[in-house]
Structure 1
Amino acid sequence: MATNSPPFGATEETHATKDDVEHGSDIDPLQKGHLLSLEHTDPVLNAKMHLVNNAIDEIGMTTYQWKLFVLNGFGYAVDSLILLIQSIIAGQAALEFQPSFSRGLTIAVYVGMLVGALFWGLSADIIGRRTAFNTSLMICSVFAIVAGSSPNWIVLGLFVCLSAFGAGGNLVLDTAVFLEFLPSKDQWLLTLMAAWWGLGQLVAGLFAWAFLPNHSCADEATCTYANNKGWRYVWFASGALVFCMSIARITVIRLKETPKFLVGEGKDEEVVAVLQGIARKHNRPCSISIEGLQACGVTGAWDRRGSVASAHAKKRISFREVWLHLKGLFATKRMALSTSLIWFSWLLIGLAYPLYNVFLPSYLATRGASFGQLSPSITWRNYAITNLCSIPGPILAGLMCKSRWFWGRRGTMVIGALVTMAFFFAYTQVRNNAQNLGFNCAISFCLNIYYGTLYAYTPEVLPSAHRGTGNGIAIGLNRVMGILSAVIATVSNTSTPVPIYICAALYIVMAAVAAAFPFEPMGNRSS
């Protein structure tokens, strides 16, 4: 009969002290417990997770993880690329198609992102990370290319939605896959990876700058298919780029299923094969063994009621399977608090930032802001510069989140949210183009300190067996708020300052929520 006691070397999981947390790397990673092990949710899984974390730390950072940094970064870039492309081309497409509801593309892209986040998130926990990793970008690229050939507004909205569906799961998958191969001392790279989000924004801005100024019509009366191909070229170029990224994911690396997912499956032999295979290829030590894992006990053993010790129902494709993953996110009071606060944070950021972008132009016009008439080339050049400024934000956040001076991940989010809030309030006083560009660049930089850290923090504190579900719902809630922002902008008065101040004030709430998070990943290992 299998026992629930951990094997030799894992009987007493040690955890970082307060001083250890502050200094992060001052303690031997092999002596750390994983972040959620004190929650006592599953002693067998905890013991096995400890051994897997030991093996990953023993192997260390290799070219395999650096390849994942790039290939998973593609997913970040594509998510932001698709979101921005629809907003960039919506105006020109509307001139050509003259739709009755001009914000239809915004709703279409967020619906696609919402369904994609939930679908790919759940599938990552049910069937694994590998399948979704290999297929999601391919789906996105095909529909992005086809979107450029849309004959009318409805068809364009459909293809935008389907392209967003493929892209929408990448923020769920990329963080999970990368994190579950990362040594504990390098988990801060998960925050740094958000710089790819800014790179996607930059690419969107560069495509707009390249194609729209010289291939766009000026008004509805003269707008035809022949003189308004710029927005179509943007879609074609974006889709082709994403297609190349999807091919690279298949050819550059043969992704192995993550060992932490396999642990939850009870596939001890495959766990050992994956880790020892990476170690052999890169000439690294790896002492994990099948015997050591099996000595911990059995995961995946059925009881008389048809329940399973791991996080799966007897039938994978069932409501019970989904319920078990949801239940696992609230297994203890601290985990329930953590999950709830994370989801609340994603709701807040999902509402505040889109609403701010919607309301600000109308508000500035009522306050007498004088921008003058910029040429299309200068307009899109400034747009590209603003997006360029979003890249250094996650880089700085990555350095901050591993430092005791900034209170780890939580402190980095608090600082990022408060500084962004200050710039948002100040931005309402913009009066000319130079100020507009300067404040846009500052907000783009500061916002991504908070955003990039939240993206990384979310999977770090979720249990591995339910990571895809929890992360998918978090990002799904963000997309729901994006849909709501488009509806609010359509029916609300955009000329008053109240919405701007409310949006900025939401960042104060985000800072308070970040300070209240019960878990701090710095100095600990993820489950």
Structure 2
Amino acid sequence: MQTDDLIQAVGSMSRFQVVMMLYVLGTQILMAWAMLMMSFAGTVPDWWCVPSLEPTVNGTSVNYLNNATSMVCPRPDNITCQFVFRQDKNTIANEWDLVCERNVFRPLITSIQMGGVLIGAFFGGQSADTLGRKWTFYISLALHAGFNLVAAFSTSWQMFAALRFLIGSMIGSLLVVHYPYFLEFLGTKWRPISSASPVWVTGVCIFALSSWLRPDWSHQHIILAALHVPFFSGWFIIPESLRWLTVKGRLDEAEKVVDQMCRYNKREKPSNTAQLLKEVAEEEERLRASGKKYTYLDIYRGWSICWKSLIIQFLWMCLSMVYYGISFGVGRLSGSLYLNIFLLAVVEVPTTALTFFMNNKFGRRWTSFMFFVIAVSGAFGVAITTRTVSGEKQGIIINVLAMATKIGVGAAWCAVQLWSSETYPTVTRNLGYGAANTTARIGGMVAPFIFAMEGDDVLVPFVIVGSTMTVCGVLCLILKETKGQPLADSISKVNSGGQVEMVATSSDMEKAKI
């Protein structure tokens, strides 16, 4: 508990944490933009299959631009057919004719991207606990910018798919490192703000606006790459994680971080800072002396942490599948594509912010459960609407219920995200978070195909969504509550029955005049 008390003493949420939020949590804007790029780039403009011998006006067949022949695939014996697309937007579908028998390549590219996120999450978690939070974060950020820039100049869908895989791997790495990196500088009371801040949603809204203003897949990659530049200046401002430096025994560097926090927050440095850091380091040194090196196996070693890890990973997998399934399937909803992307994101803002207060008042378990109930209600509501409502009203009702489902899933994920990080100690926090992110990407790989099922009928996809969210709601009631508990630093503090060992109480710290 020493590092928790130390952070509380030098400011648990002040100017230093605001700077960290801008440079670390702020990169969620870039991650959200990159992650959901295919919700625009993978859509299909209206198209016609035009025989090459047809009379044309400005390159477009006169006889085939009608509703009867719109979006009708050519017969197998029609070898002269050419695809003509409406020019209102430029996506990978019209860039490389990904329709008809090539239609499967669009969800495949999205799935390949999510596979990259899986690989990146796996290696990013290990790297952050070995190389450090800061180095892993900035290396991933730089590569993410570079891959997006190169992707803008792809010359084939195969090249684009390979680059989307690389972009996905950097998204995965950033996802697993940026959240614990920021969380480790917050006091107990303020931890929910890390998941309640609507930064991700802001990124999606900006992406929707940018796509509307410049509906070109290549230009969107260039714009995204350029937006990385301001965040690189954070390298010279934000420090390595105080907790990570301490458990690694780099006490001089850890004390300099405390000095920096005191300067930013205008607090006096606790007189026994060095002693507190030394105690944490010595405890970890005792474990390392026995030859202990932390790997992903440690988040399953001992039943008390193993069953928690399995449930957390299942929750993340299902949440990812549903969240990205709805996001990538936005083209299946009625109305404007750009407006739907925007609305599906912006509706999360009030509920995401609400999770901060609900997590502190009701705890992580009941907050998650309540939002799972909303998601289940919305999903089955869509399924019922498809069979009981007809005409124009159906599209509006389905859109509203889909947004309600997205609200529930997004808010539940915010609560589960915080819950997951609090479950693991500092020495394996990134590993546990990385493993959860890894399983989430399995769900993300499946997501594009769920909403590609059954043509325009959304019954089956939303029945799947409602069923998986029901199971998640039940499982979240099994996990132990972490509200108000200090972040453990050593793995030994978690394996003894799942309770965190209290090394020093708040009253002890007051007596020490921290």
Q: TM class by shorter-chain length? A: 0.7 to 0.9
Match of 2:257? 274
- 1:350 matched to 2:320? The reply is yes
Residue 422 of structure 1: how far off its partner (Å): 0.3
- Structure 1 residues 130 and 354: alpha-carbon distance in aligned structure 2, compared to 1, 3 A threshold: closer
> How has the CA–CA distance of structure 1 residues 117 and 262 changed in structure 2, closer, same or farther, with 3 Å as cutoff?
same
1:401 Cα offset (Å): 0.5
Code of the aligned partner of 2:352: P
Q: Does 1:207 align with 2:206?
A: no
The alignment-based identity, stated in percent, is: 20
| Aligned residues of 2:239 and 2:257 also touching (Cα < 8 A) | yes
Aligned equivalents of 1:162 and 1:118: distance in 2? Answer: 14
1:155 corresponds in structure 2 to: 159
How far is the alpha carbon of 1:176 from its aligned partner?
0.8
CA deviation profile, 1:432-468 (whole Å, cap 9, x unmatched): 4433443343333332210111222211211111111
Matched to 2:474, the amino acid is A
CA separation in 1, counterparts of 2:483 and 2:145?
36
Q: Which residue of 1 aligns with 2:297?
A: 327
* Rounded Cα–Cα distance in structure 2 between residues aligned with 1:481 and 1:165: 15
Task: Tell me, in whole angstroms, the C-alpha distance in 2 between the residues paired with 1:130 and 1:353.
Answer: 28
Alignment pair present for 1:51 and 2:2:
yes
Match of residue 373 from structure 2: 418
The one of 289, 308, 311 aligned to 2:289: 308
Q: 2:93 corresponds to which letter in structure 1?
A: A
Question: Which residue identity does 2:214 align to in structure 1?
Answer: F
Shift in CA distance, 300/398, structure 1 to aligned 2, threshold 3 Å:
closer
For residues 258 and 355 of structure 2, what CA distance do their matches in structure 1 show? Answer: 30
Aligned ranges for residues 501-512 of structure 1 at < 5 Å? Answer: 501-512=463-474
Structure 1 residues 189-228: aligned runs within 5 Å: 189-193=193-197, 195-212=198-215
Q: How many Å apart are 1:284 and its aligned residue? A: 0.9
Structure 1 residues 246 and 116, CA, compared in 2 at 3 Å: closer, same or farther? farther
- Residue 94 of structure 2 is matched in structure 1 by 95
The equivalences for 1:505-524 within 5 A come to 505-518=467-480, 520-524=481-485
Superposed displacement of residue 325, structure 1:
2.3
Q: Deviations over 1:160-185 (max 9, x none)?
A: 22222222222211211111111122
How far apart are residue 129 of structure 1 and its match? 0.3
2:120 matched to which residue of 1?
116
Counterpart in the other structure of 2:47: none
Q: TM-score, length-normalised on structure 1?
A: 0.74
**2:222 aligned to 208, 233, 236, which one?**
236
Match of 1:27 in 2: none
SS at match of 1:516: coil
Provide the rounded CA distance (Å) in 2 between the counterparts of 1:210 and 1:340: 43
- Report Cα offsets for 1:252-272 as digits up to 9, x if no partner: xx2222121122212333333
CA distance in 2, matches of 1:359, 1:140: 24
> Is the partner of 2:106 in helix, strand or coil?
coil
Q: What residue is the counterpart of 1:400 in the other structure?
A: 358
- The alignment status of 1:71 with 2:23, answered yes or no, reads yes
Q: Look up the equivalent residue of 1:400 and give its one-letter code.
A: M
Which amino acid in the other structure matches residue 282 of structure 1?
N
1:175 maps to amino acid = Y
**Quick one: distance in 1 between partners of 2:158 and 2:281?**
55
2:140 pairs with 1:136: yes
Residues 496 and 397 of structure 1, relative CA distance in 2, 3 Å threshold? closer
For 1:269-313, what per-residue CA distance to the aligned partner results, in whole angstroms no more than 9, with x for missing partners? 33333213322443313323334444677356589xxx635853x
Aligned residues: 427
CA, structure 1 residues 65+353, in 2 after alignment: closer, same or farther (shift >3 Å)? closer
Q: What is the letter of the counterpart of residue 9 of structure 2?
A: E
**Aligned equivalent of 1:179, options 183, 189, 204:** 183
- Deviation string, structure 1 residues 31-71 (Cα, Å, up to 9, x no partner): xxxxxxxxxxxxxxxxxxx2221111111222111111222
Distance 2:136 2:281 in 1: 30
**Residue aligning to 1:164:** 168
Corresponding letter in the other structure for 2:40: I
Counterpart of 1:58 in structure 2: which amino acid? A
Q: Does 1:443 pair with 2:405?
A: yes
Quick one: distance in 2 between partners of 1:297 and 1:359? 49
Cα deviation, residue 128, structure 1: 0.8
Distance in 1, Cα, partners of 2:406 & 2:285: 49
Aligned partner of residue 401 in structure 1, secondary structure: helix
Instruction: Report the residue type matching 1:200 in the other structure.
Output: G
Name which of 449, 456, 460 aligns with 2:422. 460
Aligned CA RMSD, in angstroms, stands at 2.7
Q: Is the 8 A contact 1:138 1:246 kept in 2?
A: no
Q: 1:507 to 1:245 in 2, by over 3 A?
A: farther
Q: What is aligned with 2:337?
A: 379
User: Equivalents in 2 of 1:210, 1:494: separation in Å?
Assistant: 27
Q: Secondary structure at the match of 1:74?
A: helix
Q: Determine the structure 2 residue equivalent to 1:479.
A: 441
C-alpha separation between the residues in 1 aligned to 2:220 and 2:458?
Answer: 34
1:102 match: secondary structure? helix
1:249 matched to 2:253 = no
Name the CA distance, whole Å, in 2 between partners of 1:361 and 1:211.
18
Structure 2 contact 151–164 (Cα < 8 Å) conserved: yes
Q: Does 1:298 align with 2:282?
A: yes
Alpha-carbon shift at residue 130 of structure 1 (Å): 0.9
Deviations 1:351-409 (A, max 9, x none): 334455678987x9xxxxxx5xx5xxx43233323322222221011111101xx3x11
- The answer to whether residue 150 in structure 2 is matched with residue 146 in structure 1 is yes
Preserved CA contact (<8 Å) 2:184 2:243: yes
Task: Give structure 2 stretches of 5+ with no counterpart.
Answer: 44-90, 387-392, 489-514
Code of the aligned partner of 1:380: Y
Q: 1:358 to 1:501 in 2, by over 3 A?
A: farther
Q: Which consecutive residues of structure 1, in runs of 5 or more, have no partner in the other structure?
A: 1-49, 213-229, 313-323, 365-370
The alpha-carbon distance between structure 1 residues 263 and 105, as it changes in their structure 2 partners (threshold 3 A), is same
1:348 partner amino acid: C
